[in-house]
Structure 1
């Protein structure tokens, strides 16, 4: 937290339009001590000096009898700095200005003595910089907290409040006050320790929804080691979209350098969707085993059919142990991105790169890839490159031809995980605590949910004019979500680049050879594809394997279908995952974990703010309505004793009080006779009370802590 340093003040003319606070005088009475402090603080702000409650004195029975409120520059400062050459700043200069008050018989407080002489200059325009005059209202605190939870930087949040107030001089606190408040909220919102705060946070989220899942791993000393959590919506979404996931830990860490490990899938709009998150203390096999076990338990022991990661060996070992039947593949982008650093020592580096990229992306047959790879290794004498040899041995994990035989929802990289990491990166930094880090899961989830809802709305409400006259395009528009319709439309339009080459017939089975023209690095190229069609059941397959990989028919199969007058997509080739007419259970689960963390004061502020906003909207269209609202506010009992005047507020809800005890029918209540001991105690208490009342009537003098004589009040 930032320290409140001493502020030097200089002489300035007083403000002409400031609020007029009466000067203190002996005999002024107040209802309680708080009223005296508030009054003298306002007086100090008006003149330009700080105020603090310095001393208080209690009577024999422990009741408060006297209080001294002094100028904040009273006393001598003793530096606690360990370095005498760098003393801490202070505003104390021994000012003697003060007021002293005591309690009187009717329970009120009265000023007994005053000293209004200050030994320093005062500046009303700079009074707002003193700590005692800096306060943050409940409304402002709520605004600051909401902005902080939304990831808005504190300086921007403060500047917005300054603009709203009409300038720095109209706001009652400084930016460092906001920073101190937010840091205190972050640290103490749910507990003292970071690990304890996480556990409490998770328990509260679970109380909001019993399907919230979390797991915490501790070491032998009870220290936090690994964390995993997934909310109810993510668990429900896993049933729909948990067949293939990406998992990556290479991007983001927090204050404790714990890698962030999100499990990310793809929803029916092709958007990334969170399926759980983890924070791990290390990237070894044991940590990954614990994390994968926790995730598997969370998802009712249903392992994904496919998972995409980087080339981490520890991760690979853990997946083989926990997900033995899951297809594991590596991120293609990470591998191709390593080519320059691994091959730049060769003279023919550029030629090698081009040849490898061509064989990796262009191979449509197993033999084509393996023979092409061997040819490159031999031509450029790469036999001694162990890294390339290792890649070839693991070719089933990353080469497109070897992985496209199964469904991956179009994912070939861990880019989904990295984009999710990038989202979190907007909200956290290297100093982010675990508690704050976990909280950002809510923000990420809410944003993703909102984007999904927007796409659901568009898919159900917005239509497009078909670009072609083919019935299958109209069919795709009716069944697919917008994003998947656009993918199909692109393939349908891409049919124009395809052409018939030849075909073979064996009964109802057809084998077509289709050519496709496309541009690569500014040059026109032509590739040839094979499409197999069974005319009896409209079974089709292309060696580009786009449908197997992405779930959308490719342009080559569309070309063959239309050639055979099949103008509708067979139902078997419309995946349920891409349909917009499917009712998915996760969409009915709302995300609302914020309300539990709000203090009662914040909840009341939030409720009133919503009501005030509605009133402002109703009265904002005319000066007359605005004047009615302003008049009501001026005449409202808010400034008086609201507890006694709530009933006078127009349309205010009446408080329901505890009912009075109803008198029962029958004989009068029995009055128990007191014992002799009780009578003696009561007699002693009455005698003591009479003695105290008698003493209050005697006028006497009392000494304060500085030896100054003060007049007591008697009536």
Structure 2
């Protein structure tokens, strides 16, 4: 094997290619003149991987993170070690992830996955939904246990990395430790439990004949009093000794999963942690349970790079084209097509298609505000109220269905009123910037709380950076103001550099991790193999599923006894 071939193999290894794929690439390019066989690639790749972690897997991983921080001033990472000096918990996020969080961090999916490294340490990603309704990654963590203290540290570190900006909503599984940690660290954040986990457990504890009745608690919107009445009836009729404990637990957590308590919360239409599973499914490709933390980090970076490449492709398509209008509301639909991305436009278009299912029953005027009563011509007795205040560019419109507050998408009732009022442009109040094509146009940041102590210089630095970020967003839309601010900054920088008196004798702020991440320790031992709750093994059996019959070892037929079976084994 020649040196240049070894370099090519190392390059493909760093990009996450498997050995079989590397061999296929060489065979396609060089045919039968490769000069080595597949076993040579396996041996060289294994030797190369071992050489990268000669000083220890944990030390090699921390060295890579420190190198990323040196290259990316906004890269953030932090970690903990146990009493023996072994790596216990690890958290990191790069500059692009932190910028994405400023734009799309209103809803966060916080979940864990297992069997991804040789230490059995759970991998915990923080993910969300971008303006193309694709999975975007905000940060990642690797933990050694799943206790309340560990999740508290992980969430506090996440807030430090994101300049204390808390998400509006968060989605998790039904793990009690995670629920308690969120309640302590994010008290003002709306929280819901993944409905997929609820349905999975529901099939284990309930008979199939009343599964649909229980699903109505998860998905059908009603008042809280109606939910309590329906739940009491359900318990009286279907509770048994087998499911009594589970039903009691579900009732205590009802505000985290029942539609009656979540109908007014903002989750962008998400009910499950499928966004986290989307990232995990990508990570599980070419993944084995013996992967080191160093390899896991590189594998993660390859997956995230691919996700960002797809996002940039969709950004290019959205900026250069728009979909064809097909509904009867052509003018407003054309305006919507120029604002929303393709994925969000399809959802808006569905609402435009259903405008004809409602009629305006009554119109009431009150100064600048007009109140409309909308009556369904499909479902008798269903009606909604829309209030429209026409104030030119500052117009405001609200609907009693509150769809735009829940999902971020204007409803069919609003479009009917806009059509009745002769409006052909989309009011600004009906467009969330995170749904539009220019979702990343501005990234102002505002600090509202502080969970850690900074020096006086660091506090001033972060305050100026937050103010500067907001100012830059405001002036970037005007050529004159942009030139004015730019000239001022250039002149101020020159004046400060030419000044002989230093601004402060204190040390410069740590550019990695917003000045809040501690300087990494020199060494950390590799973590121990941990015992976690783990992922479920095999398929979960439902309540009424009969046990699998045993097969006779001779005739391979169910129900036979080998002692009386006349057939001979094959």
Fold match (TM-score > 0.5): yes
Does residue 476 of the first structure (1) align with residue 355 of the second (2)? Answer: no
Q: 2:376 and 2:225 mapped to 1: Cα distance?
A: 20
CA contact (8 A) 2:217 2:258 kept: no
CA contact (8 A) 2:355 2:416 kept: yes
Q: Shift of residue 160 of structure 1?
A: 2.7
For each residue in 1:335-388, what CA deviation from the matched residue of structure 2 results, as whole angstroms up to 9, or x when unmatched? 1222111103xxxx32x1112223432224333433333333334356972322
Cross-structure match for 1:495 = 355
CA contact (8 A) 1:252 1:259 kept: yes
Rg (Cα) greater in structure: 1
Q: 1:325 and 1:463 mapped to 2: Cα distance?
A: 38
Counterpart among 170, 175, 186 of residue 307 in structure 1: 170
Where do 5+ consecutive residues of structure 2 fail to align? 444-570
Cross-structure match for 2:16 = 151
> Cα 1:222–1:428, aligned 2, differ >3 Å: closer, same or farther?
same
Structure 1 residue ranges, 4+ long, deviating more than 6 angstroms after superposition: none
Does residue 577 of the first structure (1) align with residue 434 of the second (2)? Answer: yes
Where do 5+ consecutive residues of structure 1 fail to align? 1-134, 518-525, 587-715
Counterpart among 47, 50, 57 of residue 187 in structure 1: 50
Q: CA RMSD in A?
A: 2.5
Q: Shift of residue 506 of structure 1?
A: 7.6
Q: 1:440 and 1:380 mapped to 2: Cα distance?
A: 48
Does residue 532 of the first structure (1) align with residue 398 of the second (2)? Answer: no
Counterpart among 11, 29, 35 of residue 164 in structure 1: 29
Q: Shift of residue 567 of structure 1?
A: 4.3
Q: Shift of residue 529 of structure 1?
A: 4.6
Q: 1:402 and 1:504 mapped to 2: Cα distance?
A: 31
Q: Shift of residue 411 of structure 1?
A: 2.0
Does residue 284 of the first structure (1) align with residue 147 of the second (2)? Answer: yes
Three-state SS of the structure 2 residue aligned to 1:325 is coil
Counterpart among 122, 127, 147 of residue 259 in structure 1: 122
Q: 2:90 and 2:107 mapped to 1: Cα distance?
A: 22
Three-state SS of the structure 1 residue aligned to 2:343 is helix
More strand by share: 1
1:592-611 matched pairs, under 5 angstroms:
none
Cross-structure match for 1:223 = 86
Q: Number of paired residues? A: 435
Q: Shift of residue 494 of structure 1?
A: 2.9
> Cα 1:454–1:316, aligned 2, differ >3 Å: closer, same or farther?
same
Cross-structure match for 1:207 = 70
Q: Shift of residue 583 of structure 1?
A: 4.6
Counterpart among 386, 392, 403 of residue 245 in structure 2: 386
Cross-structure match for 2:455 = none
> Cα 1:492–1:533, aligned 2, differ >3 Å: closer, same or farther?
same
Q: What TM-score, normalized to structure 2?
A: 0.71
Cross-structure match for 2:197 = 334
Three-state SS of the structure 1 residue aligned to 2:354 is helix
For each residue in 1:546-566, what CA deviation from the matched residue of structure 2 results, as whole angstroms up to 9, or x when unmatched? 211210012233234434544
Cross-structure match for 1:400 = 259
Cross-structure match for 1:81 = none
CA contact (8 A) 1:488 1:552 kept: yes
Does residue 437 of the first structure (1) align with residue 296 of the second (2)? Answer: yes
Counterpart among 209, 228, 233 of residue 370 in structure 1: 228
CA contact (8 A) 2:114 2:121 kept: no
Q: 1:499 and 1:386 mapped to 2: Cα distance?
A: 45
Q: Shift of residue 576 of structure 1?
A: 1.1
Q: 1:385 and 1:501 mapped to 2: Cα distance?
A: 48
CA contact (8 A) 1:529 1:544 kept: no
CA contact (8 A) 1:407 1:548 kept: yes
1:74-113 matched pairs, under 5 angstroms:
none
CA contact (8 A) 2:323 2:342 kept: no
Q: Shift of residue 457 of structure 1?
A: 0.4
Q: 2:248 and 2:137 mapped to 1: Cα distance?
A: 35
Cross-structure match for 2:111 = 248
Cross-structure match for 2:446 = none
